[in-house]
Amino acid sequence: MNVKELLSLKNKVIVVTGGSGKYGKCIVEGLAEADATVITTSRDPKSAEGTAESFRQVGYDVHALVVDQAIPDSVNTLKQQITERFGRLDGFVNNAVSRPMKGYGAPLEQFELSMRDNATGMFHLLREMTDLIVRSGGGSVINIASMMGMKGPDLSNYEGTDMGDLPPDYFFHNAGLINLTRYMAKMHAGKNVRFNCISPGGLFNDQPEQFLKNYCKKVPLGRMANRDDIKGLVVLLASDAGAYINGENILMDGGLNA
Ligand SMILES: NC(=O)c1ccc[n+]([C@@H]2O[C@H](COP(=O)([O-])OP(=O)(O)OC[C@H]3O[C@@H](n4cnc5c(N)ncnc54)[C@H](O)[C@@H]3O)[C@@H](O)[C@H]2O)c1
């Protein structure tokens, strides 16, 4: 098959969680540009609809649905709505994250809240979306983790800033998500569903100047990720061009951790 056809997401229905967030918007945009029917989800209906509407205005097929992955009924409702409105699911980008924990010494309740969203809730949603994909005949699941799930913190990035009290939950659940990806790939052998993980580096978001200086001088490409960087990788993994990539974790950090 021609490589442009392999990369096309035409007629594929793909859900992106946290589609109104920083990386989420880039992911929705990339999938929509490759002709997917994208369902962007958010906890807040206004936010989800605002994102979907902004993409529809430029001609893309983007729809909004609401889910709070920490609430089991909300996950079940999302599954039902996808089935009723779209009749199938070909892809799931597991991108949402909550950051309730504010630092190493923060109350344990904040760690517990994080696990509710980023571990238990995330897994419930992952399992239900996988079930829909399997019932649709197969497809692709893409987990978005972080380079911080692969390494300990590099505290020198934060010298001269007040950003250095990094919360432990983020390192814990992102590392777990990377290995959960491998587990899912093996557990779904023979079901025509692929599971891969992307572990991005930091996305440029007007961080303090000192942090940018510290960070960018260590990146061989000399910069943070921009809003286009994740798009091609997500499209590759979601499309038939990535049909033989399964159980993989791809570090996307401009060479920072090379
Ligand atoms: N921003 C970065 O620099 C960066 C770097 C590396 C990895 N990542 C990864 O990228 C992904 C997205 O991160 P981001 O920085 O774009 O986050 P963000 O905070 O901009 O967006 C996350 C989204 O998830 C949603 N969310 C939170 N809790 C939820 C819940 N219980 N149910 C449903 N949705 C919920 C939020 O409302 C938000 O829209 C995460 O997996 C993160 O680990 C981000």
pLDDT of residue 76: 98
Among residues 132, 149, 154, 152, the alpha carbon closest in space to that of 141 is found at 132
Ligand 1 near 114 CB (within 6 A) = no
Do 61 and 10 meet the contact criterion of CB atoms below 8 Å apart? no
pLDDT of residue 146: 98
In total, the chain counts a number of residues equal to 258
Pocket test for ligand 1, best of 28, 46, 97 (most atoms within 8 A of CB): 97
pLDDT of residue 114: 98
Q: Which atom of ligand 1 is nearest to the CA of 96?
A: 24
> What's the 3 CA to ligand 1 centre distance in angstroms?
31
Query: Cβ contacts of residue 226 below 8 Å, gap of 6+?
Result: 203, 204
Ligand 1 near 21 CB (within 6 A) = yes
pLDDT of residue 15: 99
Among residues 145, 143, 201, the alpha carbon closest in space to that of 173 is found at 145
pLDDT of residue 225: 98
Among residues 250, 256, 225, 255, the alpha carbon closest in space to that of 154 is found at 256
Pocket test for ligand 1, best of 16, 22, 212 (most atoms within 8 A of CB): 22
Among residues 251, 95, 96, 111, the alpha carbon closest in space to that of 168 is found at 111
Strands 91-94 and 193-200: unpaired
Ligand 1 near 98 CB (within 6 A) = yes
The Cα-based distances of 220 to 14, 188, 255 in angstroms read 33, 37, 6
CATH H superfamily, domain 3-252: NAD(P)-binding Rossmann-like Domain (3.40.50.720)
Q: Which residues are registered as beta bridge partners of 249?
A: 197
Query: Cβ contacts of residue 240 below 8 Å, gap of 6+?
Result: 1, 5, 6, 7
pLDDT in tens, the chain (258 residues): 999 999 999 999 999 999 999 999 999 999 999 999 999 999 999 999 999 999 999 999 999 999 999 999 999 999 999 999 999 999 999 999 999 999 999 999 999 999 999 999 999 999 999 999 999 999 999 999 999 999 999 999 999 999 999 999 999 999 999 999 999 999 999 999 999 999 999 999 999 999 999 999 999 999 999 999 999 999 999 999 999 999 999 999 999 999
> What's the 118 CA to ligand 1 centre distance in angstroms?
10
User: Which residue type occupies 51?
Assistant: T
Cβ neighbours, 10 Å, residue 44: 11
